[in-house]
């Protein structure tokens, strides 16, 4: 069977065996009740005299949900739309261009297209997802290694990554202030200078109750800035209940990664999330992971710990965190527990 789900899904009426999750891991009830809503934060207010209330909203959402959406972020809507179009085109048509891309499972490869995620379920079931993963920063180093089809991909996603980096810095600066860390804490290139882009494509699925686009995980990085198209699928776990993240093509979804949970000494939460599929419409998301350089030590910020509030986690190198995360099949909770001081 071809690697890309998008190249064969329309020929099948049933989900192939190796995409079927064991009963206890299946999505369960696909009608997620809207009992709680992921907060939507107007970022422009931070620059219009409402900096403190905006920071409070961000901190509250990051504590309660580990997720929020931002609107009025100053990002060009044209660039967002065009980026979504080129990312969708990556997985459309004959996939001839994709076949030329490196489909190796080697994590050190800069650009690859594969169907079985690293964040695969522990049961080694395949995910109902195709994705392209590549580095983004610094642009001069990586841009030429990206796909050459669609022809606008390199230029458009290049512009998009530069803007997303700025947006992430703005959000991290607000979080920094809210946590009471020293100004510019996250500006450190060692801490936030690695950026990886994952373009996710979830083709329509004939039996959504049997499989997942992405199984339950938290991200093993600092912070993630994600753009969704208009299709539902992303869900966040809060108090053992799944909450759907309302699709909004004008908003960015922001979620805390495990590193922020460690640095904030549990003040912020790296919430677990997953993606469910649907039978009708392909879903695309553009996830931009802000991460740390390999040797950077990740540990609770000194400013947040004292005798009354001792560090909850032991220090760990970013790279060792990643290695453990992969070894523990993306069970972020288990990795964080292994770090308890
Ligand atoms: C991820 C992720 C969510 C989505 O790539 O880590 O959680 O909506 N993606 O694709
Ligand atoms: Ni994720």
Average confidence (pLDDT) over 150-169: 96
Q: What is the pLDDT, as a whole number, of residue 28?
A: 78
Using the predicted structure, report yes or no on whether residue 81 has a pLDDT greater than 80: yes
Q: What is the pLDDT, as a whole number, of residue 36?
A: 77
Using the predicted structure, report yes or no on whether residue 181 has a pLDDT greater than 60: yes
Using the predicted structure, report yes or no on whether residue 116 has a pLDDT greater than 50: no
Cβ of 167: how many Cβ atoms within 10 Å?
18
CATH of the domain at 116: 2.60.120.330
Q: What is the pLDDT, as a whole number, of residue 126?
A: 87
Atom nearest to 287 CA in ligand 1: 5
Collapsed DSSP state (helix, strand, coil) of residue 170? helix
Collapsed DSSP state (helix, strand, coil) of residue 234? strand
Q: How far apart are alpha carbons 105 and 147 in whole angstroms?
A: 17
Would residue 6 count as lying in a domain?
Answer: no
Residue 142, C-beta contacts closer than 8 angstroms, at least 6 positions apart: 110, 134, 135, 136
Distance 137 CA to ligand 2 centre (A): 19
Would residue 113 count as lying in a domain?
Answer: yes
Collapsed DSSP state (helix, strand, coil) of residue 283? strand
In this structure, what token pair is assigned to residue 64? 């309660």
Nearest CA to ligand 1 atom 8: 234
The domain total for the chain is: 1
- φ/ψ of 96, rounded to 5, equals -55, -45
Extended beta strands in 124-229, E state:
130-135, 194-202, 214-217, 223-228
Query: Does the C-beta of 332 come closer than 6 Å to ligand 1?
Result: no
Residue-range definition of the domain harbouring residue 44: 17-338
Distance 322 CA to ligand 2 centre (A): 14
pLDDT tens, 270-285?
999 999 999 999 999 9
- When the pLDDT of each residue in the chain is averaged and rounded to a whole number, the result is 90
Distance 224 CA to ligand 2 centre (A): 8
Average confidence (pLDDT) over 99-121: 51
pLDDT tens, 260-273?
999 999 999 999 99
Q: How confident is the model at residue 299 (pLDDT cuts 50, 70, 90)?
A: very high
Using the predicted structure, report yes or no on whether residue 117 has a pLDDT greater than 70: no
Average confidence (pLDDT) over 24-49: 85
Q: What is the pLDDT, as a whole number, of residue 160?
A: 98
Question: Whole-prediction pTM value?
Answer: 0.93
Q: What is the pLDDT, as a whole number, of residue 118?
A: 42
Least confident of 6-15, 159-168, 265-274: 6-15
Q: Residues 266, 312: contact at Cβ < 8 Å?
A: yes
Using the predicted structure, report yes or no on whether residue 103 has a pLDDT greater than 60: no
Distance 316 CA to ligand 1 centre (A): 25
pLDDT tens, 126-147?
889 988 889 999 999 999 989 8
Distance 199 CA to ligand 1 centre (A): 9
Would residue 211 count as lying in a domain?
Answer: yes
pLDDT tens, 186-221?
999 999 999 999 999 999 999 999 999 998 999 999
Would residue 154 count as lying in a domain?
Answer: yes
If one residue of 275, 286, 322 were mutated to test the ligand 1 pocket, choosing by the most ligand atoms within 8 A of its CB, it would be 275
Nearest CA to ligand 1 atom 9: 287
Would residue 253 count as lying in a domain?
Answer: yes
Q: How far apart are alpha carbons 4 and 142 in whole angstroms?
A: 24
What stretch of H or E contains 274? strand 273-275
Mean pLDDT is highest, among 20-34, 78-92, 93-107, 323-337, for: 78-92
Would residue 1 count as lying in a domain?
Answer: no
Least confident of 174-178, 232-236, 330-334: 330-334
Cβ of 325: how many Cβ atoms within 10 Å?
23
Query: Does the C-beta of 214 come closer than 6 Å to ligand 1?
Result: yes
Q: How confident is the model at residue 31 (pLDDT cuts 50, 70, 90)?
A: confident
In this structure, what token pair is assigned to residue 158? 């290049």
Q: What is the pLDDT, as a whole number, of residue 98?
A: 56
Using the predicted structure, report yes or no on whether residue 307 has a pLDDT greater than 80: yes
Would residue 128 count as lying in a domain?
Answer: yes
Using the predicted structure, report yes or no on whether residue 149 has a pLDDT greater than 60: yes
Q: What is the pLDDT, as a whole number, of residue 122?
A: 58
Average confidence (pLDDT) over 48-77: 97
Q: What is the pLDDT, as a whole number, of residue 328?
A: 85
Would residue 2 count as lying in a domain?
Answer: no
């Amino acid at each position: 069977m071809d690697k890309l789900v998008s190249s064969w899904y329309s020929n099948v009426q049933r989900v192939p065996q190796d995409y079927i999750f064991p009963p206890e891991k299946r999505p369960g009830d696909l009608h997620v009740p809207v009992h709680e809503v992921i907060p939507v934060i107007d970022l422009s207010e931070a620059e219009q005299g409402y900096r403190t209330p905006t920071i409070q909203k961000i901190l509250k959402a990051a504590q309660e949900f580990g997720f929020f959406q931002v609107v009025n972020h100053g990002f060009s809507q044209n660039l967002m739309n065009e980026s979504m179009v080129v990312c969708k085109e990556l997985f459309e048509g004959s996939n001839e261009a994709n076949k030329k891309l490196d489909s190796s499972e080697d994590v050190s490869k800069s650009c690859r297209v594969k169907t079985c995620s690293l964040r695969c379920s522990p049961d080694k079931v395949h995910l109902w997802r195709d994705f392209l993963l590549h580095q983004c920063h610094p642009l001069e180093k990586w841009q030429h290694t990206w796909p050459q089809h669609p022809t606008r991909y390199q230029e458009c996603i290049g512009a998009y990554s530069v803007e997303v980096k700025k947006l992430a810095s703005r959000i991290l600066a607000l979080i920094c202030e809210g946590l009471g860390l020293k100004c510019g804490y996250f500006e450190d290139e060692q801490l936030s200078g690695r950026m990886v882009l994952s373009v996710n494509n979830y083709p329509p699925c004939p039996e959504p109750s049997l499989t997942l686009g992405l199984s339950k995980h938290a991200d093993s990085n600092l912070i993630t800035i994600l753009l969704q198209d208009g299709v539902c699928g992303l869900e966040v776990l809060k108090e053992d209940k799944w909450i759907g993240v309302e699709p909004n093509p004008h908003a960015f979804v922001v979620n805390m990664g495990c590193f922020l949970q460690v640095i904030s000494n549990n003040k912020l939460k790296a919430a677990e999330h997953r993606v469910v599929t649907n039978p009708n419409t392909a879903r695309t998301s553009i996830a931009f992971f802000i991460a740390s350089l390999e040797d950077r030590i990740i540990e609770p910020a000194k400013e947040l710990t004292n005798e009354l509030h001792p560090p909850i986690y032991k220090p760990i190198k970013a790279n060792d965190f990643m290695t453990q995360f992969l070894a523990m099949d993306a069970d972020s909770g288990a990795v964080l527990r292994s770090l308890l001081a």
